[in-house]
Structures are given as C-alpha cells and as structure tokens.
Amino acid sequence: MQDKAYKVLARQLNISNNKAKELIDRGVVYVGDKKVKIARALISIKTKFRVEEIQKSNIIFEDENLIAVNKTPFKTSEELEKEFNAKLIHRLDKETSGVLLLAKNDAFLQKAVQAFKKQEVKKIYSAWVEGIIAEEVVINVPILVLKGKKAFAKVDKKRGKEALTIVKPDILHGKKTKVEVEIKSGRTHQIRVHLASIGHPIVGDELYGSVTQSKRILLHAKKIELLGYSLEAPEPKEIAKYK
C-alpha cells in the first residue's frame, strides 16, 4: 500500500502534513542514503525515513551596525532575517553556507546596498566542482535570470546582465577540484551558472548538471569585505575536505 511521501512522514514523526512537506522541500529527508525530493511522490506506507538535523546559525561578529552570521545549510536567508531581527544586506541560496550580513539600522543598510551595487564588495567562496580545474579561469559572461516558481538562471550573451567570476584551483581529489571563487557582481546563482557553463558544475548541484549525489550543494561563502569590515566564516567539514 502506498501514500504520498509527506503524509507517510507526517504519520511517522507525528507532525502536521504541512510540517512534513516543509522538511522534504527543505532537502533534509532521506530514505537510506537517498534524498526524498518530491513531497507528493507515492511511497510505501512502511517506508522508514531519516531526517537530517539542521544546525544552528551562529553570530560571527556584531556591532551597532551589522550582524554577521555563519549561515548553515538548509536555512533560508529570510528565515535568518526573522531569527536575528535585522535586515538582509544580501542573500545566500538555501543550501549555501557561510557569511551572511544583516543590517541593524537603515542608514548602514543603505550604505551597504550601495556598496554592493557599485561592486565595492569583495566576496570569496569555496566550492567543490566536478572535474579537474588546473589553472585560474576568468568567466566574464552575462547571466539571464528566468522568472518562475523557483530561481533559475542561464548564460545569455544577448539578454543577460554583466557577470564576472574568477576561479582558482585549490585542492584536487580524484576527479573533483576544490576551488576558491571570487565574484565581482552578484547575479542570482552566478557561481553555479558560471561554473556549469565551463563544464564544472558544483558537486551536488543537480539543477545545473552535477552528476554526484551530495547532501547539499558544496558551496560556502568564505569571506566578505565591505565598508571597512572583513568577515570570515570557517569552512564546514564537508567543504574543508571532500569525504
């Protein structure tokens, strides 16, 4: 006998259907080592689920102007905005970890937003990618963000907006490469799209072509410098060392 995955999970954990669906959509529900991706998929009512714990996001730095948070995976930026009662200066994708900045007052928020618009911010990321990158790569290709229920972007030289990404190899592990990435702009999914466009999607990023299963997209916002601040988040173990 079968039922929808979120309903089976709800009964198993004694939680509401909405909460069960939210856990599946967040990407933390597994059957064995396989992630459950579709909440409404039919599944045996005897299925045993495993739910990954969502780690707490901690404050790295705080003063009268901003809060810098080490965002953990599977938390949205908007959720952390509510949790820390401050305004988002920028955003990170749900599965991306690392430095997330929130403003504590409107004056600093406006200054920070302008710094981002003028590209006066230095942003460094760490990522594991498919394949071997042996030397620095500069990707200067416009990106077009497509409208829909879920964020999606693609390289589009005619209709896209300017985007510049600098990729430097760090560590080789089999047929995977750990890279340091600096972005000069901040387009939606910029790093993910640009790396996929050169045949090296980020490990776990199935949306943009990764063929390797991973608990999450292996992308970490390592460091941000703006308005005299320099803020850094230590790499989690899955980023520091591949398996």
Positions annotated as catalytic residues are 93
Amino acid letter, residue 37:
K
Residues with Cβ < 8 Å from 228, sequence gap 6 or more?
Answer: none
Q: How many CB atoms lie within 10 A of CB 169?
A: 16
How far apart are the two ends of the chain, measured CA to CA in Å?
A: 37
Q: How far apart are CA 41 and CA 185, in angstroms?
A: 38
- Coil vs helix vs strand at 11: helix
Amino acid letter, residue 47:
T
